[in-house]
C-alpha cells in the first residue's frame, strides 16, 4: 500500500501549489543533508542493467527529471538520491528575473495535471553556474563509476527583445556549458512572450548554431546540444525541426514541452478557466507527446537521441516511449502526485521487465 497519495491529499492538495512545491523540495534537500541521503542513495540506485548511453554520455537509468522542478540548481544531489538517471536544471536565463506574478502554479487533481505560468523565475546564469559546478564535482565523488547526469535548460530573458535573443542565449551558454553534461535550448515555453516564435526554422537555425559553437568553446569540449519543442507544433513544423536538427547535426530533440491546449479535461470548465493562461502538463499530454515522438523517430531514424516527456506516470509509460524510439524519458508532473519514491519504483519495474 502506497502512503504518499493519502499524504498528498491531506498535506498538500489544499495548499497553494507553489508553496507546496517549495516545502516538498526543501524536505528532499533536508533528507540529503542528513544521513538519510546516503541511505536513500543505496535504496534507490538504479540496477546496472538500466545503464543507457545517449549522445556519448552514460546514464544510470533512461528515466530522468524534466526541467522545471529544480529551476536554479539548488537540489541536484538531493534529487539524485531519489534514483533519477538525470536531472535537467532550469529553465535558466541570461539575466536573473522574478518570473510572472503569483499565483502562477495550479493543480488539476482530477486530471493529474498542472497548469503553470511561472515565467522562467531564476537567479540568472552567473549565479547558477557555481552551483552546477559544485554539484557535478560532488556527484563524481559519490558515484565513482556511472553518476547521475546533469542537463541544463536555457531560455530567453523576458525583457530581452526577440531580435537580441541569440546574444541572450549565448550569455547562458557561456556561463553554464562548462558544468553541463548536456545543454537544452528551450524555445517552446508558452510563458515568455514571443518565445515560441523562435521555433520557426529560419530563426532557430542561427540560434542553435551560435549556442552550440559558444558552448563548446566555453567548455573546451563538445557539449551535447538539444532543442526542446512544443506539442502544439503542426506535424509539418515538427518535420521541419527534425530536418533542421539533422542538418545542424544536433545531438537530440526533447519532445515535448507544456501545451496551451485545454481539450479533453475531466476538471470542471470553470476550474480550468480560473487557472488562466499557462502551460498544461501531466497525464492529458500523454497521447500528443507520444505522437510527436513517433513522428520525430520516423523523420530522424537513429541519427540523434530523442528525449520523450509529457504525461509519463509509470514504468509502462516509460517503456512505451523507449519502444517508440526514445533514448531517454523524462517526467515531472507525476512526481508531484506520486511522491519521492516515484523514480525508484519506475526503475525497479523497468529492471524487472528486463529480467523477464
Question: Where does the pLDDT of residue 203 fall: very low under 50, low under 70, confident under 90, or very high at 90 and above?
Answer: confident
**What pLDDT score does 307 carry?**
98
Its pTM stands at 0.92
The predicted-structure confidence for 110-140, as pLDDT tens digits, reads as follows 999 999 999 899 999 999 999 999 999 999 9
Q: Tell me if 61 sits within 8 A of 318, measured CB to CB.
A: no
- Angstrom distance (rounded) from CA 153 to CA 6: 33
Crossing angle of helices 342-355 and 36-44, in 10° steps, is 30
Q: Calculate mean pLDDT across residues 327-349.
A: 94
- Residue 189 known to be catalytic: yes
* Identified catalytic residue from 61, 172, 188, 189: 189
- Angstrom distance (rounded) from CA 330 to CA 66: 5
**What pLDDT score does 272 carry?**
95
- Angstrom distance (rounded) from CA 278 to CA 166: 24
- Angstrom distance (rounded) from CA 288 to CA 261: 11
The predicted-structure confidence for 297-313, as pLDDT tens digits, reads as follows 999 999 999 999 999 99
Contacts of 87 (CB under 8 A, 6+ apart): 64, 65, 70, 76, 79, 80, 148, 149, 150, 151
Cell 501549489 -> residue: 17
pLDDT at residue 326 tops 90 = yes
- Angstrom distance (rounded) from CA 126 to CA 95: 8
The predicted-structure confidence for 75-94, as pLDDT tens digits, reads as follows 999 999 999 999 999 899 99
Amino acid at each position: 500500500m502506497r502512503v504518499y497519495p493519502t499524504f498528498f491529499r491531506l498535506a498538500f492538495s489544499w495548499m497553494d501549489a507553489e508553496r507546496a512545491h517549495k516545502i516538498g523540495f526543501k524536505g528532499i534537500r533536508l533528507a540529503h543533508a542528513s544521513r538519510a541521503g546516503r541511505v536513500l542513495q543505496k535504496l534507490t540506485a538504479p540496477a546496472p542493467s538500466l545503464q543507457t548511453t545517449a549522445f556519448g554520455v552514460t546514464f544510470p537509468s533512461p528515466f530522468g527529471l524534466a526541467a522545471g522542478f529544480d529551476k536554479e540548481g539548488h537540489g541536484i544531489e538531493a534529487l539524485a538520491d531519489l534514483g533519477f538517471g538525470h536531472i535537467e536544471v532550469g529553465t535558466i536565463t541570461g539575466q536573473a528575473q522574478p518570473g510572472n506574478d503569483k499565483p502562477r502554479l495550479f493543480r488539476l487533481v482530477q486530471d493529474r495535471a498542472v497548469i503553470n505560468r511561472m515565467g522562467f523565475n531564476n537567479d540568472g546564469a552567473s549565479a547558477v553556474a557555481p552551483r552546477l559546478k559544485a554539484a557535478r564535482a560532488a556527484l563524481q565523488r559519490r558515484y565513482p563509476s556511472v553518476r547521475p547526469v546533469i542537463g541544463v535548460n536555457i531560455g530567453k530573458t523576458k525583457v530581452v527583445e526577440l531580435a537580441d535573443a541569440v546574444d541572450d542565449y549565448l550569455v547562458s551558454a557561456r556561463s553554464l556549458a562548462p558544468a553541463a553534461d548536456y545543454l537544452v535550448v528551450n524555445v517552446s515555453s508558452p510563458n515568455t512572450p514571443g518565445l515560441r516564435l523562435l521555433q520557426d526554422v529560419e530563426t532557430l537555425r542561427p540560434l542553435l548554431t551560435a549556442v552550440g559553437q559558444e558552448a563548446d568553446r566555453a567548455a573546451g569540449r563538445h557539449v551535447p546540444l538539444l532543442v526542446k519543442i512544443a506539442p502544439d507544433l503542426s506535424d509539418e513544423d515538427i518535420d521541419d525541426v527534425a530536418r533542421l536538427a539533422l542538418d545542424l547535426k544536433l545531438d537530440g530533440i526533447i519532445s515535448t514541452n507544456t501545451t496551451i491546449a485545454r481539450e479533453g479535461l475531466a476538471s470542471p470548465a470553470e476550474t480550468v478557466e480560473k487557472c488562466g493562461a499557462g502551460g498544461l502538463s501531466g497525464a492529458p499530454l500523454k497521447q500528443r507527446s507520444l505522437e510527436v515522438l513517433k513522428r520525430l523517430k520516423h523523420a530522424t531514424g537513429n541519427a540523434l537521441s530523442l528525449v520523450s516527456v509529457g504525461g509519463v506516470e509509470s514504468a509502462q509509460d516509460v517503456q512505451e516511449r523507449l519502444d517508440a524510439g526514445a533514448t531517454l524519458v523524462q517526467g515531472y508532473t507525476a512526481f508531484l502526485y506520486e511522491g519521492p519514491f516515484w523514480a525508484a519504483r519506475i526503475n525497479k519495474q523497468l529492471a524487472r521487465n528486463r529480467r523477464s
